[in-house]
Amino acid sequence: MPHTEVQSAIDPVDKTVLDSSPKLTDSYGRRFPYLRLSITDVCNFSCDYCLPDGYSSTQKKSFLNGLEISNLVKAFADMGTEKIRLTGGEPSLRKDFSQIIASIAKTPGILQVATTTNGYKLKENIKEWVDAGLTHLNVSVDSLDPNLFHSLTGHNRLKEILSGIDYALTLSIKKIKLNAVLLKEINSHQFKQFADYIRERKISIRFIELMQTGDNFDYYKKHHVSAQILKNFLLSNGWTEKLREKSAGPAIEYVHPDYQGSFGVIAPYSKDFCDTCNRLRVSSTGDFHLCLFGEKGYSLRHLLQKPDQKDELKKLIVDSLRNKRKQHFLHDLDTGITPNLSFIGG
């Protein structure tokens, strides 16, 4: 549902409820209008830095169902969450993905429904997701070279994914981004190819520095490189840093007058990266995570069963949020409990 319709759908009584709810702020004055919600750990790709051997699980997990997701989102929305990103694992593998989007889109207070996807079957499905209320789309594409894409992900589908993105550009999506993990000696020399791709496409390409997780230390050591190399490329080719909006997250945006698209740089290892943190996370089994690299999750699931548990749920969320640390400790090689990013949703 478009922004304005959502707003006008909130009647005065609902507004009072929203206003009297506790707000999502932490001990360092940061606000959290953005929730990343993992809806499955399962993934069909085997990206070298994430799930190199593909997804496997020793026990069958039961992921949050539609009702639990709806109760969760309503509680967060009451406390000021405006944007929900559905992630995973691969979120689009959920058979009820469109229903989940639709239920979130009609929650009063939610202005943006986003997803991060590997784009498998994007062309076949994107129209249905947009009709359901999806407003923002991120597709992960680490290389525009088909052979390299195949070897990185285990799937020879770059052509189909790019054609899905071109189709998405014709639909009423507010913003489309490409996510690429910056990988030394793998894609770190392909910036020009990415720039050519967005010359005529209104897409933001986000390069994310490779992060160390519990499982990928050797890969990380071999392929991590500072995003400074991308910044150097951009600055020496006429791109300029865009002024940050006050509420912007940690990405730094670069624009160029000859290009419709833009570049974004996400550098979690940079100084003060965590100062602009505006996001919280809930795992596919209902654990509340204060940081991608935190020590533990706070289980919310027992309070997601009935709508009348909402006040208790909100209290647990706000109380847990007091424990959010000022920053991650990745510099000390402390990755918290995160074995790979499919675990709590990257």
**What does the binding site for ligand SF4 look like in residue numbers (CB under 6 A)?**
43, 45-47, 50-51, 88-90, 118, 140, 342
Member of 116, 143, 204, 285 binding ligand SAM (CB under 6 A): 116
Q: How far is the CB of 197 from ligand SAM (least distance, A)?
A: 17
Give CA–CA dist 340/284, Å, rounded. 14
Q: How far is the CB of 339 from ligand SF4 (least distance, A)?
A: 12
Q: Is 285 in the site for ligand SAM (CB under 6 A)?
A: no
Q: Tell me the three state secondary structure of residue 271.
A: coil
Q: How far is the CB of 252 from ligand SAM (least distance, A)?
A: 16
Considering only the stretches 86-94, 101-109, 154-162, 192-200, report the one whose residues sit in contact with ligand SAM under the rule CB under 6 A. 86-94
DSSP codes of every residue in 17-45: HHHHS---B-TTS-B--EEEEE-----S-
Q: How far is the CB of 51 from ligand SF4 (least distance, A)?
A: 4
Q: Tell me the three state secondary structure of residue 179.
A: strand
Q: Considering beta carbons, is residue 320 or 338 the nearer one to ligand SF4?
A: 338
Question: 167 near 126, Cβ under 8 Å?
Answer: yes
Tell me the CA distances in angstroms from 146 to 57, 88, 154, one per residue in order. 29, 24, 11
Any idea which residue has 């390409």 for tokens? 205
Q: Is 213 in the site for ligand SAM (CB under 6 A)?
A: yes
> Which letter, b or e, does each residue of 28-61 get, where b requires 16 or more Cβ atoms within 10 Å of its Cβ?
eebebbbbbbbbbbbbbbebbbbbeeebeeeeee
What track of x and - describes contact with ligand SAM for positions 216 through 235 (by CB under 6 A)?
Answer: x-------------------
Q: Is 294 in the site for ligand SAM (CB under 6 A)?
A: no
User: Any idea of the CA torsion for 211, 32, 254, 176, to the nearest 10 degrees?
Assistant: 90
Q: Closest by alpha carbon to 87, among 42, 36, 46, 138?
A: 36
Q: Is 43 in the site for ligand SAM (CB under 6 A)?
A: yes
Member of 34, 55, 88, 267 binding ligand SAM (CB under 6 A): 88
Give CA–CA dist 144/114, Å, rounded. 23
Q: Considering beta carbons, is residue 88 or 286 the nearer one to ligand SF4?
A: 88
Question: In angstroms, how far is CA 316 from the centroid of its own chain?
Answer: 23
**Cβ-closest residue to ligand SAM?**
346
Q: Is 118 in the site for ligand SAM (CB under 6 A)?
A: yes
Q: Considering beta carbons, is residue 109 or 264 the nearer one to ligand SF4?
A: 264
Member of 72, 211, 300, 321 binding ligand SAM (CB under 6 A): 211
